[in-house]
Amino acid sequence: MEQTRTEIADFGEFGLIHHLTKNNETQQASTMVSVGDDAAVIDHFGRQTVITTDMLVEGIHFDLAYTPLNHLGYKAVVVNLSDICAMMAVPTHITVSIALSNRFSVEALEDFYEGIYTACQQYGVDLVGGDTSTSPKGFFISITAIGEVVPGQYVTRSGAKPGDLLCVTGNLGSAYLGLQLLEREKRIVAENQNVVPNFEGHNDLLKRFLAPVARLDIVEWLHENNIVPSAMIDISDGLSSEILHLCQKSEVGCLLFEEKIPISQEAKEVALQFNMNPSTCALSGGEDYELLFTIPQSYYEAIADSETITIIGYMTPPESGVYMQTPSGNKYALKAQGWNAFSE
């Protein structure tokens, strides 16, 4: 059956916004005015507001050759919510602005917004505004996320102290290896149109790249257990880059133990298929959106038995530098070799 295609020009800007948001439902009591007015109105009832924004550009941050539009909408929201979580805050609202060319239909945008609404429902977040614009080519996405936190309880990158334990959630390197699988199959299909992409046995790696998770569960667990990290950041650019960010902002050094870096068995096997060192994938891969944080040693007992949080090192005086120790005892200076938005 031939798929219906509706041109965006048939709606116009305001008609398109109304069409895409007509079923938008708010979930937050703090949402006073949502989509449809000149601006949103939010009342956080005495809590402090945390705000972050992120831009995604086709061909730079995503490839539509292997990224379904509903996954793109979902991921575009989640990567912003992850930044809110990295402040130990709870995400509550988003705005979505897009610019796109006439190669996209209304139906394509409906798929994109389906992913946005899925993420909003999953995390209890309200879509309260945004904008649309035309573009000569490509697809541009800008999302602003808003969260709330009890006054004075937000966590920044700058509070780590020598002796603090370095912790990370989940496992690392999986998203990067999911991307490698997608890129490999894209090349194979480009060479032979009759070949069907084969991702058998690698659903977890693909999901980690296409549909990451913002670790709101960790934020809630830390709050429930009265554990206050001294510094925190989410892992978007690779473990090594994020450790260096923490060290720079906190003016401390760090000793990371390579054997402590959590890497799934599937990630290890696929890394070896690509002739890559699994640790290198975790250190430099990025897009895991796990939380990296430091805690005083007094919290050791509370963290030690966690199945989700791994202690991977500790912070040192700044003059000690930032190093990774291998299982054989050798030490290597950590370098920021992850994602750089302005590298060629």
How many Cα neighbours within 13 Å face the side chain of 290?
A: 28
d(CA 278, CA 295): 26
Specify which of 38-42, 133-137, 188-192, 327-331 reaches the highest per-range mean pLDDT. 327-331
Of 92, 119, 149, which closes a domain?
149
- Say whether both 238 and 283 belong to one domain: yes
Are 87 and 16 found together in one domain? yes
Give the separation between CA 29 and CA 86, rounded to whole angstroms.
23
CATH code for position 48: 3.30.1330.10
pTM of the model: 0.89
Give the pLDDT of residue 344: 45
Dihedral (CA of 66, 72, 76, 79) sign? negative
Reported residue count of the chain is: 344
Residues 53 and 175 both lie in one domain: no
- Residue 148 vs residue 38, higher pLDDT: 148
Q: Are strands 309-316 and 331-333 parallel, antiparallel or unpaired?
A: unpaired
Contact 95, 61 (CB under 8 A): no
pLDDT in tens, 158-180: 999 999 999 999 999 999 999 99
Count how many domains the chain has: 2
Nearest-Å Rg of the Cα atoms of the chain is 21
3-state secondary structure of 161: coil
141 shares a domain with 20:
yes
Same domain, 169 and 145: no
Q: Look at 129-133, 276-280, 295-299 and tell me which has the smallest mean pLDDT.
A: 129-133
In a domain, 340, yes or no: no
Q: Is residue 64 part of a domain?
A: yes
pLDDT of 207-226, one tens digit each?
999 999 999 999 999 999 99
What mean pLDDT, rounded, does the chain reach?
90
CA distance 162 to 231: 12
- The model's confidence at residue 189, banded by pLDDT at 50, 70 and 90, is confident
pLDDT bucket at 88, cuts 50 / 70 / 90: very high
Looking at residue 23, its amino acid is N
Looking at residue 46, its pLDDT comes to: 84
Q: How buried is 245 (Cβ within 10 angstroms: 0-12 exposed, 13-18 middle, 19+ buried)?
A: middle
- Residues 158, 91, 226: CA angle, nearest 5 degrees: 60
Return the minimum-mean-pLDDT range out of 30-44, 46-60, 178-192.
30-44
Burial status of residue 111 (CB atoms within 10 A of its CB: 0-12, 13-18, 19 or more): middle
d(CA 344, CA 330): 32
Query: Does a structural domain hold residue 255?
Result: yes
Across 269-298, average pLDDT: 96
Residue 338 in any domain: the answer is no
The pLDDT tens digits for 46-84 are 888 889 989 999 999 999 999 999 999 999 999 999 999
Inter-residue contact 106 to 12 (CB < 8 Å): no
More confidently predicted of 186 and 6? 186
In 3-state terms, what secondary structure has residue 70?
A: helix
Per-residue confidence (pLDDT) for residue 39, from 0 to 100: 54
Q: How far apart are the first and last CA of the chain?
A: 43
Do 145 and 175 share a domain, yes or no? no
On the question of pLDDT at 343 being above 70, the answer is no
End residue of a domain, out of 149, 174, 200: 149
The pLDDT of 1-6, averaged and rounded, is 71
Which range, of 25-39, 43-57, 119-133, 180-194, averages the lowest pLDDT?
A: 25-39
User: How many Cβ atoms from other residues are within 10 Å of residue 59's Cβ?
Assistant: 10
pLDDT at res. 21: 75
In this structure, the answer to whether residues 79 and 214 fall within a common structural domain is no
Is 251 found in the same domain as 204? yes
Does residue 288 sit in the same domain as residue 319?
yes
Q: Which of 149, 173, 189 is the last residue of a domain?
A: 149
Q: How confident is the model at residue 191 (pLDDT cuts 50, 70, 90)?
A: confident
| pLDDT tens-place string over residues 220-250 | 999 999 999 999 999 999 999 999 999 999 9
Is residue 252 domain-shared with residue 321, that is, in the same domain?
yes
Residues 252 and 287 in one domain: yes
Residues 136, 270: one domain? no
Separation of alpha carbons 103 and 299, rounded Å? 54
Sign of the CA dihedral with 162 first, then 243, 235, and 203 last = negative
Domain range for 48: 9-149
Query: Which domain CATH number covers 319?
Result: 3.90.650.10
Say if CB 114 and CB 15 are below 8 A apart.
no
Residue 341: what pLDDT?
45
User: Which residue is listed with tokens 């000149």?
Assistant: 38
**Residue 342 banded pLDDT, cuts 50, 70, 90:** very low
Q: Would you say residue 188 lies in a domain?
A: yes
